[in-house]
Amino acid sequence: MTVSLASLEVGQHIGSATVDITRTDLVRYAGASGDLNPIHWNQAFAEGVGLPGVIAHGMFTMGAAVQLVTDWIGDPAAVVDYQTRFTKPVVVTDTTAQPGQPGAVVEVTGVVGQIDTERSTARIDLTVTSAGQKVLVKAQAVVRLA
Amino acid sequence: MTIDPDLQGRSYPAGETYSVGREAIRDFARAIKATHPAHYDVAAAAALGHADLVAPPTFAIIVAQRADAQLISDPSAGIDFTRVVHADQRFVHHRPILAGDQLVAELHVDQVRAMGGGAMITTRAEISTVDGEATTTTTSSILVRGEDQ
């Protein structure tokens, strides 16, 4: 592992990442996760239940966002606790006819929120936004360090 | 449909075993755009001390949502799936999930709160191997919107 507990300070920035999302990504996530709710792939259905359009699975955004932490810490198994609240949906526009064009963009940044020397853990607080709005709130990943 | 207020405290025993396959880990990792080699390459996982491919931190949602399905599809619970919104989610890992694990999940309905015409339901899935070794505790709250929400 490349990060040691002693090297960390509360408030320290761990990095940032950008996640581009297309409708194809949502279909892929639906298949891989087994969550086939049509609000994540069918425009008419999503609008019919009062949504502004097709929205990303909250679990897609949560899963994609924590990568910043696993890449920084160097081992996905170091993440021992990860939680979030889902506040705003990420609306993904249909860019199927414009290859390479994302239908939504999610921005992730992380800072060290708390250090627990007794348990050898650090809490990373993630800020996750799309179109200028927070889409995940209280997104916190606890990592165990050597 | 009305949510049964007596749901709180209900449990569903472990259902079918979920067998964690390497390709399932790779597919899930690709689907969340995770690029860490420990999800894809057995040698890279071994270099970090893991016996096989390491599942991403949110992989357990597959097992947890299968357990949740027992509640959501239970007619006596009164939940309309088309009106369900995911409100929050937590994963506590007792040990990482690895390819080759045989997992089962016991589901507990921890809390039911009336919210307007709907309800907020908090469930907890205790995920363990078939041999009884705890791997993950997931907690999930879903908002079932009322007819006017």
Between CA A85 and CA A70 the distance in angstroms is 20
Tokens of A20: 């581009």
Between CA A80 and CA A8 the distance in angstroms is 18
Cα A3 to its chain centre, rounded Å, is 21
pLDDT over 70 at B149, yes or no = no
Q: Is the pTM of this model over 0.80?
A: yes
Q: Give me the tens of pLDDT residue by residue for chain A, a chain 146 residues long.
A: 478 888 999 999 999 999 999 999 999 999 999 999 999 999 999 999 889 999 999 999 999 999 999 999 999 999 999 999 999 999 999 999 999 999 999 999 999 999 999 999 999 999 999 999 999 999 999 999 97
Q: What share of chain A is helix, strand, coil (3-state, %, to 5)?
A: 30, 35, 35
Among A19, A32, A84, the residue with its CB nearest the CB of B31 is A32
Among A18, A60, A61, A70, the residue to mutate for chain B (most B Cβ within 10 A): A70
Cα dihedral A21, B40, B16, B110 in deg (nearest 10): -60
pLDDT of residue B1: 55
**With bands split at pLDDT 50, 70 and 90, how would you rate the model's confidence at B2?**
confident
Closest Cα in chain B, distance from residue A9 (Å)? 24
B66: which chain A residues are within 8 Å (Cβ-Cβ)? 34
Place of tokens 């639906």: A30
Between CA A72 and CA A30 the distance in angstroms is 27
> How much is the ipTM here?
0.96
pLDDT of residue B77: 87
- The answer to whether residues A135 and A19 touch, using CB atoms and an 8 Å cutoff, is no
**Size of chain A in residues:** 146
Q: Rounded to the nearest 10 degrees, what angle do helices B61-72 and A23-33 cross at?
A: 80
Between CA B5 and CA A115 the distance in angstroms is 40
The chain A residue lying nearest B149, using CA atoms, is A50
A to B CB pairs, distance under 8 Å: 108
Alpha helices in B73-127 (DSSP H): none
A82:B38 CB<8 A: no
Among A28, A32, A84, the residue with its CB nearest the CB of B88 is A84
Among B27, B57, B92, the residue with its CB nearest the CB of A32 is B27
**With bands split at pLDDT 50, 70 and 90, how would you rate the model's confidence at B117?**
confident
- The answer to whether residues B26 and B40 touch, using CB atoms and an 8 Å cutoff, is yes
Closest Cα in chain A, distance from residue B18 (Å)? 13
